[in-house]
A and B are shown apart, each in its own frame.
Chain A
Amino acid sequence: MGCRIGIGKVRYMRIHRRKKEKTGDPLKDNMDLSQRYQEVQKMKLAPGLEQTLQTLQQVCGYSQDIKIRRFNINGQIPAALVYLNDMVNTLSVEEILRVLMVDIQRIEGWQKDRGLLRSAIKNLLIINSIEETDSIGELFYKMTYGNTAILVEGQAEAFVCGTVDIKNRDISEPLSETNIRGPRDGFVESLCINITLIRRRIRVPHLWIETFEIGSLTKTKVAVAYMKGLADEKMLEELRSRLRRIETDAILESGDIEQYIEDQPFTLFPLTLRTERPDLVCSSILSGRVAVLVTGSPHVLVLPADFSMFFQASDDYYEKPPQGSFVRILRWIGAIISVFLPGFYVAVVNFHQELLPTTLLLRVTASREGVPFPVIAEILIMEVLFEVLREAGIRLPVAVGPAISIVGALVLGEAAIRAGIVSPAVVIVIAMTAIANFSNPVFSMAIVLRILRFAFTILAVVFGLFGVQFGMLLLIVHLCSLRSLGIPYMSPLAPNIPSDMKDNFLLAPIWARTTRPKILGRREPGRQSPGQMPHPGKHSLDDIKGGNQDKN
């Protein structure tokens, strides 16, 4: 599979220079990584074939995945193919060999004229790309992309041929973001495939993809995809500068990038939306957002993100609007329950008993009869236990999973109540909270809500509902002060943008959502022409005469 990414701006990172310059032989053991790196970058190919091959092997410590195929060009000039095992297409390599060993004799006098040999290689090989390089470092770097190098005796340049055939995971349904309706493809670890998945949905040249290379050791390709002319240029420039600012030696996942490019590092809230779904990424790009794809990560970052995005799933859009609105409202209620319910319970039981209807109050009090702990201890014990259970459940092999739920549900819940250690009301509260929390479609937000719940529980036990209010105000101030790539995090709620409320708590029908989000899509506000509300046509089927006759 050909990997042809238009490289916009590639930046080679330098390893941080922290030690004294130590020159010497990079092949010796006493060279440290950074010095070794710089020495190898300086190394050039030698004219002698064997010498080059030996240097190459010594530089990589005779690693066994480097394959060298020695041969003679048309039986006369020694040459070698160098590639990394299992990254190349065998057929392509055989094709190179066939051409160089046999077909090249059709060209007269290639043995004497090296220029002729070069043009022969370039013209005879049916390979999609042939580049030349004279640096060992660059040669190796290109080989890691599945290219094959042709080294020829007496020539200090290598011909690098595109023969890539890297094995990838198949495109499959993303496990962390399952849906009922909508496309089932998900991003994979290959950047090229991921870009293809987006391209297949947006077929105009205005989908621009800029590539950066970050990480001096991992040399990770990071692609920024956006609609040219729709995404705000200042926002893009800001993103570019944040990406360029990164100086590190390793980027292994998009989570690593996420932490470098956030607006405000000291916040619990996710300021970028992470998704495995191409349809979600495309709809974000089409509303003026930017997607950041990272090699080796199926998680694509979408930014700027706003708070409401974390309560939306792609299903909402594919179902009819009332259904979509219904589940969205449910999710918001779920979020509120999952943050405030334990705190509310603690506050009511400790301070504000009058808020409960008398019968309910009696029930709660009766169920607390004989429980040895104060309410807050009960709640915290159960909360922590539940969180531990949940965390244990994630890492468990599928086969052991049910065992955990049995232990959790029966042993902890049932036994704790029977033994009178916790009151049934607390178990109900914790269970409701937990279930409500799982209604959140985005993990990174759900976990924030879980952490907040602890804070609110503690505030509630100290200050009662006033403490909850205190925390809520701090939370609101904090949320309102957040920005994601310069866009207010709480928009369109605060600042309130009425036209964007069509796609927030409630979802308007698709023919009514004629405009893009106001701040993001201001360069091209119109999405579709208005007035597309469907209406029944003039002809209906029961007008057809003799309708009831045809019954075969």
Chain B
Amino acid sequence: MLFMMRTTVVIALLPVLTSADALQDAWVSAIVSFFGAAFLVAMIAGLGAKFPDLTIVEYAQKLIGKWPGKAVCLIIIWAFLVIAATDTRIYAEALVIGSLTETPIPFIIFSTVIVGSVAAYSGLEVIGRAADLLFPIFVVMIVVSLAFAIPDATTMGSNLEPVLARGIGPVLRGSIIPTVIIAQYLCLTMIIPAANQPKKALGTALWALTGSTMVLVLVTLAVTAILGPHQGSRVVFPFLSMVRTIYISVFLERVEMFALLAWGFGIFIGVSVSMYCGSRALAQVLGLDDYRPLIGPLAVIWGTFSVHSYHNLFQLRTLFQPKIGGPYILSLILVPMGILWAAYGIRRLAGGKPDEE
């Protein structure tokens, strides 16, 4: 259970570093997004808690029959694919922009995918332990970056004003993306049966969400304060740009490479969990006993997908526009989970006890 919490926190923290919109009120969006995200998490993890011993592939087949269940699960698997591929791509783009300007992107992507598939091959337990090890590094990185940002942020606090000058509309729109990125929590549907106390999964997930929202608020505050609202929403990786401004002494300047690498640890956890969940879910859909033979082929698909689905960074950014990414990612969560909840509810109303079949 412990490891799961850490893993989810790490995963939840990832998007923080990429998304900061809604101008000076971005931090309000962050708070607002918490409620939407909490609802989605409850939706994802709640059903899992009803079937503590089953993965989504198994209980989906129980709830709506064999083939429809499998079909719904394909959507989830698609979501895992999109998440892992996008994460990898974002990281690769950040690396190329940040320091390795002449390295081909596919190269970085495939390296990341290789590490992720090795981890996925080793199993969930190993990923969890690796997350245990990396979690402190990751948190320390964020805390240190934020702490170093404080002196700058306080002097430039005026960037945060005026509060809610443009009404609540942009704030709500700004909160869409941080909300839907919660799709990362879909991995809970596969992990819950492996956790020590599946019943507590929902609580843990919500705590993780709380922690990540706090960090999200702090980061958006710092980013907006330091970079200013307009630049903050325009630069590609706001958090990294903020870290770049850190200048404590002659010795501590231009440390964003370390922030980048620490972020890579987080990406690694996210990618390997997604790959594990994806291949395991696919194995269950196909009726295989072992998911490991699938990892090789899937890794190739993942890498290729990551390379080819976005031509460049701007296309990637378009995905994270509220108008495009919102409905798309949201449907990845809402459609399968909605169908399953509906089936669960109908069965419940019909008098059966669906979780005890």
By a beta-carbon cutoff of 8 Å, the part of chain A in contact with chain B is 351-352, 354-355, 357-359, 463-466, 468-470, 473-474, 476-477, 479-481, 488, 490, 493-496
Contact = CB atoms under 8 A, between A and B. Distances in A.
Nearest to A497: B2
Contact of A480 (B112, B122, B261): B122
11 contacts: A352-B257, A358-B250, A466-B261, A468-B261, A469-B261, A473-B265, A473-B268, A476-B133, A477-B130, A480-B126, A495-B129
Contacts of B119: 473, 477
Interface of B: 2-3, 6, 95, 99-100, 103, 108, 111-112, 115, 118-119, 122-123, 126-134, 250-251, 253-255, 257, 261, 264-265, 268
Nearest to A492: B132
A468 B100 CA distance: 13
Contact of A477 (B108, B111, B122, B132): B122
Contacts of B268: 473
A477 B100 contact: no
Interface of A is mostly: helix
Contact of A352 (B99, B127, B129): B99
Contact of B253 (A357, A466, A469, A493): A357
Contact of B254 (A354, A470, A495): A354
A357, A463, A468, A496 — most chain B CB neighbours (10 Å): A496
Name the 3 nearest CB pairs between A and B, nearest first.
A494-B129, A494-B132, A480-B129
A12 B119 CA distance: 43
A506 to B, nearest CB: 14
A494 B6 CA distance: 11
B100 A351 contact: yes
Contact of A463 (B6, B111, B130, B254): B111
B129 A357 contact: no
Q: Is the interface of B mostly helix, strand, loop or mixed?
A: helix
Given A465-B99, A476-B133, A355 B115 contact: no
B258 to A, nearest CB: 8
Given A473-B268, A476-B130, A496-B132, 9 more contacts: A351-B99, A354-B257, A355-B257, A357-B251, A466-B111, A480-B122, A480-B126, A488-B129, A494-B128
B134 A355 contact: no
A481 B119 CA distance: 9
A358 B2 CA distance: 44
A354 B258 CA distance: 12
A477 B257 contact: no
B100 A480 contact: no
A479 B6 CA distance: 18
B148 to A, nearest CB: 16
A476 B130 CA distance: 6
Contacts of A473: 115, 119, 130, 264-265, 268
A355 B123 CA distance: 36
A466 B108 contact: yes
